[in-house]
Amino acid sequence: MSEMTRVFLQDHEPIDFLFEQNRDDFIVDELFEKPFKTKGNFLILHIKKVNITTWDTIDKIASFLNIPASSIGYAGLKDKYATTSQYLSLPLKYEKQLSRFHDKQITILETFKDSKKISIGDLKSNRFTITLRNVDDIKAGKIEKLARNIEKIGFPNYFGYQRFGQDSITQAQQMIDGEIFIKDKKLKKFLISVYQSKKFNEWLKERVQISKADAENGFKLLNGDVMMSDDDKLFTPKTPSIKEFKDKKIVPTGLLVGREVFRARDEAREIEIKYDDELLVEKGLRRRAWIYPEALTCKYNKKESTMELSFVLPKASYATIFIENIANRNF
């Protein structure tokens, strides 16, 4: 089994349905926690984009306005092969000029004003609407039952296949080992994130395999786990509270390797250390190891042989992992 294979708690037979990322079957909408203000020096754009990356969207708008791409704020990157809506910000003085902007792949749905630009981290969550095809009555029943179970017990917050470009894992490892030198700062930063993501996925895979013995209770907590509270604060309790975990008041976290990061202790550290790299100069982080889909709806269309799943996930998590978990196979 490949080290990059993602495993899940449920051991059901894989479900064979068709899942593709395209403009019709993969729809994503950003959700912000706070409403925008009615005045300020920044123009907030609520845009819809189709089959185009966030970076390319920003570049197109920046090119039209003849401003640096760095002048445009965003909260998160959205998939290319999809229909997605997200929020961007730019200085208010470009409002009139922007009214003449037209593009086949980008639609400005509405605009707001605010006193602050949008930044990474401002996003609360994303709403996904995903259509699965080639679904018959039996598959539809299985899919809904599994989705409801995952809604209750959660699922591992792996990085999805979108995180890893072609040959990027090999290139990242070669860079870390000093076998190649990367001059381009943007590419170097990307490869470091690939390396961190790979290490996290490998650690999470082992923790899921440990948890399989007690799959009904979800993720198995260990002494020394670094937990995250519902207000995003990190702490290491003497004994993790299973009740608080089940009540979704705390969640275990995994390590994104680097410096100045809260590391696990005791039993949890024995596993974590196998996937650590304390020599990496990049700043480290903690990432939620376990997440829960919310606002889940399942709509089966017998005539079209489709199942539409709509759900909300926390920022920086992957809807494709939820679908993989239901299918019990890697895409």
What domains can be seen in the chain, in order of their start residue?
28-123 (3.30.2350.20), 142-293 (3.30.2340.10)
Rounded alpha-carbon distances, angstroms, from residue 207 to 7, 10, 92, 219: 10, 14, 48, 8
103 is an active site residue: no
The model's pLDDT over 189-209, given as tens digits with 9 standing for 90+, comes to: 889 999 999 999 999 999 999
pLDDT digits (tens, 9 = 90+) for 132-180: 999 999 999 999 999 999 999 999 999 998 888 778 888 999 999 999 9
**What are 164's two structure tokens?**
């890893």
Report the SS3 class of residue 104: coil
Pairing, β 42-50 against β 106-114: antiparallel
Structure tokens at 114: 């605010």
Q: Which residues pair with 85 in a beta bridge?
A: 29, 48
Tell me if 146 sits within 8 A of 215, measured CB to CB. no
CA distance 191 to 164: 9
| CB-side neighbour CA atoms (13 Å) of 190 | 16
Q: Which two tokens stand for residue 262?
A: 């809260």
C-alpha dihedral sign at 217, 223, 226, 228 = positive
User: What is the average pLDDT across 117-122?
Assistant: 88
What is the three-class DSSP state of 9?
A: coil
What residue type is assigned to position 178 of the chain? G
Q: Looking at 79, 114, 225, 276, which residue is catalytic? A: 79
Give how far the C-alpha of residue 192 lies from the chain's centroid of Cα atoms, to the nearest Å: 17
**pTM across the whole model:** 0.92
Each residue of 54-109: pLDDT tens digit?
999 999 999 999 999 999 999 998 999 999 999 999 999 999 999 999 999 999 99
Q: Classify each residue of 137-171 as buried b or exposed e, where b means 16 or more C-beta atoms within 10 Å of its C-beta.
A: eebbebbbebbebbbebbbbbbbbeebbeeebbeb
Residue 2 pLDDT > 50:
no
What per-residue confidence (pLDDT) applies to 185? Answer: 86
